[in-house]
Amino acid sequence: MARPEDLMQDTPKITQAMIDAYDEYTHLTLDRRGFMARLTGLAGSAAAAAAIAPVLGANRARAAIVAPDDGRVGSVWTTVPGDTGEIKAYLAEPAAGAKPFPAVVVIHENRGLNAHIQDIARRLALEGFLALAPDFLSPSGGTPDDEDQARAAIAALDGAATTRNAAKAVDFLTAHKDSNGNVGAIGFCWGGGLVNDLAVFSPGLQAGVAYYGRQPDPEDVPKIHAAMMLHYGGLDQRINAGIPAYREALEGAGVEHQIFVYEGANHAFNNDTSEARYDKGAADLAWRRTVEFLKAKLAG
């Protein structure tokens, strides 16, 4: 029988170079074949690369921190009248408590509206928010099960139309019977970038939280009316390259903002379904800051 220490020695080590290769594969130009070839070189064998790849990706089995049938949360599937037709969305709110609730649009990563993002909506509901998670791939038929297909569909979206769809989600929550009319947005990765674009576009947005999201054009920053909270992983060189210009533009325009960089954390550090990149310390601190910020800006 194998000893535990022997099994530990057989577990391939995840290096920063492997994480960077995965980031290039999921966000830039490296395709699946190229990623596995690079990972094989970094890991030393095809067998080791095959064992490492799932650890770098997301594990759907770990998606539910708050179970879909948790009695503390009421959730339904609904539709939002979008700029390009109806947008499918997941709506979660506290099962008890005094209505109306402050409201938050939850914007998914480039994997689409998956179980993890639905879980984020339920987590926000437990914190006292009415949370709406739209499927921004609705115009192309909705989020597919295959993540590579989802990323390709995200890349094919019309950016301006998608931002207008996000603004329609803000309008939907502003008018919702269970909303107090104060609406914020939180987004992750691709969704973080969309939060920034939404803040530029929608004067009705009152608070925006962008996790490791692409920054907007600095010339557009004076259009932002929302208070902004921005979270970044210290090791995320690709996204972090845009921080100085964004900070300068926010300061120059007098936009209320907070910027946090979590040293030693990678891109997607908040995604607890991705074992290699998840950083519990950074994620817990960022989440606590996020909830406090959204309550302060939206609960009134």
The pLDDT tens digits of the residues spanning 201-231 come to 999 999 999 999 999 999 999 999 999 999 9
How much of the chain, in percent, has pLDDT values that exceed 70? Answer: 90
Cβ proximity of 65 and 123 under 8 Å:
yes
Q: Which residue has the tokens 């390259």?
A: 241
**Domain identity same for 25 and 114:** no
Among candidate residues 56, 71, 91, the one where a domain is terminated: 56
User: Which pLDDT value is given to residue 4?
Assistant: 37
* Domain co-membership, 101 together with 205: yes
Question: Band of the pLDDT at 140, cuts 50, 70, 90?
Answer: very high
Domain extent at residue 258: 61-298
pLDDT tens digits for range 281-294: 999 999 999 999 99
The H or E element spanning position 12 is none
Q: Are residues 215 and 263 in the same domain?
A: yes
d(CA 192, CA 260): 14
Same domain, 46 and 82: no
Residue 183 CA to chain centroid, in angstroms?
17
Last residue of one domain, picked from the residues 16, 37, 56: 56
* Range list of H helices, the chain: 4-10, 16-27, 32-43, 46-56, 115-126, 147-155, 159-175, 190-201, 237-240, 243-253, 280-298
Per-residue pLDDT tens over the stretch 4-30: 333 334 556 778 777 777 767 767 666
Tell whether 30 and 75 lie within a shared domain. Answer: no
- Cβ-contact 227, 282 below 8 angstroms: no
Task: Encode pLDDT of 24-37 as tens digits.
Answer: 776 766 677 777 78
pLDDT, tens only, 99-122: 999 999 999 999 999 999 999 999
Q: Which DSSP symbol is given to 242?
A: T
Average of per-residue pLDDT across 154-164: 96
Are 162 and 100 within one domain? yes
**Residues 115, 30: one domain?**
no
Q: Are residues 135 and 273 in the same domain?
A: yes
What is the structure's pLDDT at 28?
65
The pLDDT value recorded for residue 63 is: 54
Q: Do residues 136 and 13 share a domain?
A: no
Q: Same domain, yes or no, for 254 and 269?
A: yes
| Statement to judge: residues 52 and 66 lie in one domain | no
Total domains present in the chain: 2
Cα–Cα distance for residue pair 276/87, rounded to 1 Å: 32
pLDDT at position 2: 37
